[in-house]
Amino acid sequence: MLRDLVIHENEAARIGQVLGSFLEESGASEALLIDRSGQLLASSGKTATFDTVSISALAAGAFSSTGAIAELLGETEFSVLFHQGVRESIHVSTVDGETILLAIFNDGTTVGMVRLFAKEACRAIGAVLAEARAQPRRVGALALPLTSDEAGGRIGPESR
């Protein structure tokens, strides 16, 4: 069973720090930390032009489907995924069983540099996430159960 994940300010700051140093050392332009169900957990980067929410959903899908190919080949998974474009390329690597790290980079660096520093970053982020997963879910504002009224959950106009 996949576990719920709670990221507090402290973990968010530590993850932000790791992503920041990763970008600096590797020369990549964007780093996205993505849950394997497709949700963006954290991001860091020099430009804000990419649609990071869509990229996260699609990258998680691509990573899972290549994982399924790996299984058909008798592998547990492919721990790294690399797509090369004319200007921008992406490198995806495994953080832990539930999370992946995606780096977007261009010809300002090389895939070797990105791979090298991604490995280090994944290890550091994995440690932070392990602590985050061990924490209780219902704390702070969410410590007390929601009432029926509070959980309105209304997304759009109903039409009968």
Binding letters toward another protein, positions 57-86, x by CB under 8 A: xx--x--xx--x------------------
| Class of residue 71 by CB neighbours under 10 A (exposed 0-12, middle 13-18, buried 19+) | exposed
Identify which of 93, 91, 103, 99 has the alpha carbon closest to the alpha carbon of residue 130: 99
Q: Which stretch binds another protein (CB under 8 A): 74-82, 105-113, 123-131, 140-148?
A: 140-148
Nearer to another protein, 119 or 133 (CB): 133
Q: How far is the CB of 150 from another protein (least distance, A)?
A: 6
**Applying CB under 8 A, which of residues 19, 31, 32, 41 lies at the interface with another protein?**
41
User: Please, how many CA atoms are within 13 Å of residue 48, restricted to the half-sphere of its CB?
Assistant: 0
Q: Establish if 145 lies at the interface with another protein (CB under 8 A).
A: yes
- Measured CA to CA, the distance from residue 22 to residue 103 in angstroms comes to 9
Q: How far apart are the C-alpha atoms of 82 and 37, rounded to whole Å? A: 19
| Residues at the interface with another protein (CB under 8 A) | 1-9, 11-13, 35-39, 41, 51, 53-54, 57-58, 61, 64-65, 68, 137-138, 140-142, 145-148, 150-160
